[in-house]
Amino acid sequence: MTNKEIIINQAIELLKSHPSGIRYTQFVKDISGALPEIPINTIHGTIWNLEVQVPEKVTKPARGLYLYAEKDWVPPKPPIIKVKEDDFYESFANWIKNELEECTKAIPLGKNFFKSKWGTPDVIGIRQSRKSDILQMSTEIVSAEVKIEPSELITAFGQACAYKLFSHKSYIVIPLSSSAEDIARLDALARIFGIGLILFNASDPKSPEYEIRVRASKHEPDMFYVNKSLKLIEEKLFG
């Protein structure tokens, strides 16, 4: 076989083992690792338009994303999730406060604490100036929606949009195991709407490995809804 044929065969086998797809940079890296004897420029020159060369086996659902697409192929089922969503609330509250430093205080909330059809954030926090700061800022509210099921990403996005009514910043926290196409779409939507996007390991509450993808943009919420919501959690959040 020619180098081109070898590369294409290797690329297809890699795509079969990644049912959610592979980004271009990682794709090249994995092929090069499996075929170290072939120059990396040859690999680049072969796979950049792989979906055109073998359209019956490869598709490109988003920019830079390659997916195996042979008809009648059934990808392996993802592992069954045995954890609960609220297992991650406290660790995310700590992460957004201590690692991302978006809040000076953050608390788990969740359930139907606000008793509203518009939803309750899973985590809510405040950002305030410290007494030692020379310039003092106004208090900011930061909300987050956590999902462990990839099938609920659209719901998460809608809820995060609703939280902007009473929050200066709003985040969605979604599984790293979500399809690359869904992540790419949410990445684009997050940038358009100013919502933050966080990826995490949804299979292990002890090691969630939160990773920032898009930082939320600050906006001014409606102060009527800010005060209405904060009255319900004043003691928990400011006490």
Task: List the beta bridge partners of residue 141.
Answer: 126
Residue 160: Cβ-neighbour burial (10 angstroms; 0-12, 13-18, 19+): buried
pLDDT score for 132: 76
Q: What is the DSSP string of 144-181?
A: EEE---GGGHHHHHHHHHHHTTT-SEEEEEEETTS-HH
- At residue 198, the pLDDT reads 97
DSSP single-letter state for residue 134: S
Stated pTM of the model: 0.70
Q: What is the pLDDT of residue 157?
A: 95
pLDDT at 196: 97
Mean pLDDT, 10 residues at a time, the chain of 239 residues: 93 90 93 95 93 91 86 63 87 95 90 73 90 82 94 93 95 93 93 96 92 96 91 83
Instruction: Note the pLDDT of residue 76.
Output: 64
pLDDT of residue 207: 92
CA distances from 22 to 58, 138, 143 (A): 11, 43, 31
- As given in the structure block, the two tokens for residue 175 are 């599984």
Ramachandran quadrant class, 72 (left: phi over 0; alpha: psi -120 to 50; beta: rest)? left
Domains belonging to the chain, first-starting first, are: 3-68 (1.10.10), 85-238 (3.40.1350)
> What is the Cα–Cα distance from 216 to 160, expressed in whole angstroms?
11
Q: Integer distance in angstroms from the first to the last C-alpha of the chain?
A: 71
Mean pLDDT of the chain: 90
Closest residue by Cα to residue 66 from 5, 116, 14 = 14
Check residue 71 and give its pLDDT.
65
Q: What is the pLDDT of residues 224-236, one digit of tens each?
A: 999 988 888 888 8
pLDDT of the residue at 80 = 61
pLDDT for 78? 61
Largest interatomic CA distance in the chain:
71
Instruction: Give the type of residue at 67.
Output: L
Q: So what's the pLDDT on residue 83?
A: 85
Q: Rounded distance, CA 44 to CA 41, Å?
A: 5
Q: What is the 3-state secondary structure (H, E, C) of 183-233?
A: HHHHHHHHHHHCCEEEEECCCCCCCCCCEEEECCCCCCCCHHHHHHHHHHH
| Rounded-to-integer distance, Cα 87 and Cα 110, Å | 11
The DSSP code for 69 is: -
CA–CA distance, 10 with 3 (Å, rounded to integer): 10
Judge contact between 121 and 143, C-beta under 8 A. Answer: yes
In angstroms, the Cα distances linking 195 to 50, 189, 234 are: 33, 8, 24
